[in-house]
A and B are shown apart, each in its own frame.
Chain A
Amino acid sequence: MSELGVRAGVMGPQPIASRRLPPDSLFEAARRIFTLLIGGGKTELLAMTEPQAHDQAAAVADSVKPGVYNSGTIIGTARSANHYFIKARLTGENVEPFKFQVRLGENEGRWTIREALNLTGVRSGWSK
Chain B
Amino acid sequence: MQRMIPVDKLARPEDHILIPSQRLRAARAEQGLSFQAMPYEEDFLKARLHGICAGEFQAMEAAGRTLYDFPDAPWEFQLDMARQVWDESRHAEIYLKLLEYVGSWYGEFPEGEVLWSCTQAEDPAARVAGINRGLEGLACDVFEQLIRLAQKMGDTVIERSVDYVLADEITHVRMGSKWMRKLTEGDPERLRKAQEFQDSIDILFSFGGGRPSVEQVPQVKQRVAGKEFEFDARTPLARESRLLAGFTEEELDRLTKAATRSTAY
Contact = CB atoms under 8 A, between A and B. Distances in A.
A80 B7 contact: no
Given A76-B107, A79-B109, A122 B8 contact: yes
Contact of B17 (A77, A81, A115, A128): A77
B211 to A, nearest CB: 25
B244 interface: no
A81 B28 CA distance: 7
Contacts of A114: 27, 30
Given A13-B101, A18-B103, A82-B31, A126 B14 contact: no
A85 B107 CA distance: 11
A15 B102 CA distance: 6
A115 B29 CA distance: 13
Interface string A101-128: 1010100000000110000001111111
A78 interface: yes
B30 A87 contact: no
Contacts of A19: 103-105, 108
B23 to A, nearest CB: 7
A125 B113 CA distance: 10
Nearest to B113: A126
B81 to A, nearest CB: 24
Given A16-B103, A17-B225, A105-B30, A78 B155 contact: no
A85 B9 CA distance: 21
A119 B102 CA distance: 32
Given A122-B8, A126-B18, A128-B20, A80 B110 contact: yes
A127 B8 contact: yes
B16 interface: yes
A54 interface: no
Contacts of A87: 14-15, 17
Band of interface residues on B: 35 or more
Contacts of B20: 125-126, 128
B14 A76 contact: yes
A15 B157 CA distance: 11
B108 A13 contact: no
Nearest to A76: B15
Contact of A76 (B17, B101, B104): B17
B43 interface: yes
B108 A16 contact: no
A112 B131 CA distance: 39
A78 B108 contact: yes
A126 B157 CA distance: 34
A16 B100 CA distance: 9
Nearest to A50: B30
Contacts of B102: 15-17
Given A13-B101, A85-B19, 6 more contacts: A15-B102, A17-B225, A76-B13, A81-B31, A85-B17, A126-B113
Nearest first, the 9 A-B pairs at minimum CB distance are A76-B15, A17-B103, A78-B17, A125-B18, A126-B8, A123-B8, A80-B27, A127-B8, A78-B110
12 contacts: A7-B100, A17-B45, A76-B107, A78-B17, A78-B109, A80-B24, A80-B31, A105-B30, A115-B27, A125-B110, A126-B8, A126-B19
